[in-house]
Amino acid sequence: MALRPADIARKLNISTSSLRHYEEWGLIPPVERSSNGYRIYTDLHVAYFECIRAMADGFGLLLTAEVLKNLQANQVGLAFWVVNEAQSSLHKEKIVFEETMKMIRETPPEAQKRNLTMKDIAKETGIPTTTIRYWEKIGLLSIPRSSDNNYRMFDQDHIRQIRVVHALKTSPYVYTYSLNGIKEIIQGLDFNDADKIKKISLDYQNHLDRINQLQMKGVRYLYRLCELLELVS
């Protein structure tokens, strides 16, 4: 059945220009035109559009495009593995952040006074020295220097700061934390303030839970599209 772009856009709560963009980017199968030049969308196109909308929220548009282009090439196995890798990355992100929060909560007060070098920090956090220097340069870290030799002076608080920056900054899904947002969190962070640490941890966990839920919804629409295409049994 031929469907009007306006009807599809209204159903999905998006603009007709978005439908055209998805078509131009190759995310849907070719669209036929009527004699007067109007696009002729079908139920199959609607299923693609629904899948795009569902997946983009949890996986992002770039990954969604890669998956749907694989489907059009009948590479359903490859498409599923792309999705699987993204879900695995989200799970790893959850583990990293949980370990970071655990480390922050369990670090004894006497450990905070240790004098550490850049190499010590890099070894303990697993973050390259070049990355640490860059984060300092753009204002994510504030590291005092010795008045004697101008060397950076690190302590355990800096390890915790670096771990928090890593957890917030490196995730491909954490679009809620801009550079300035991370700065505000780090600058206002008192590692002895248990309530604040708990709130950051809870906010981030809620964020990850939300992304996980959106990904599961995207997978449901993806599998439904594959059934419609008879790519799965």
Q: Is the pLDDT score of 224 beyond 60?
A: yes
* Average confidence score pLDDT of the chain: 84
Cβ contacts of 118 within 8 Å, gap of 6 or more: 129, 132, 152, 154
Give the β-pairing of 32-33 and 39-40. Answer: antiparallel
Q: Distance between CA atoms of 21 and 31, rounded to whole angstroms?
A: 13
Q: Is the pLDDT score of 48 beyond 60?
A: yes
Whether the Cβ atoms of residue 127 and residue 164 lie closer than 8 Å to each other: no
pLDDT at 221: 97
**Tokens 């920090």 — which residue?**
121
Identity of the amino acid at 165? V
Instruction: Give residue-wise pLDDT tens across range 64-95.
Output: 999 999 999 999 999 999 999 999 988 988 88
Q: Distance between CA atoms of 67 and 79, rounded to whole angstroms?
A: 5
pLDDT band at 49 (very low <50, low <70, confident <90, very high): very high
Q: Is the pTM of this model over 0.85?
A: no
DSSP string, 27-53: -S---EE-TTS-EEB-HHHHHHHHHHH
Instruction: Give residue-wise pLDDT tens across range 177-218.
Output: 566 767 776 766 666 676 777 777 777 788 889 999 999 999
Instruction: Give residue-wise pLDDT tens across range 50-62.
Output: 999 999 999 999 9
Q: Distance between CA atoms of 160 and 19, rounded to whole angstroms?
A: 45
Instruction: Give residue-wise pLDDT tens across range 147-186.
Output: 888 888 888 778 878 877 877 765 544 444 566 767 776 7
Token reading at 116? 């550490």
Q: Closest Cα to residue 157, out of 128, 121, 184?
A: 121
pLDDT band at 113 (very low <50, low <70, confident <90, very high): low
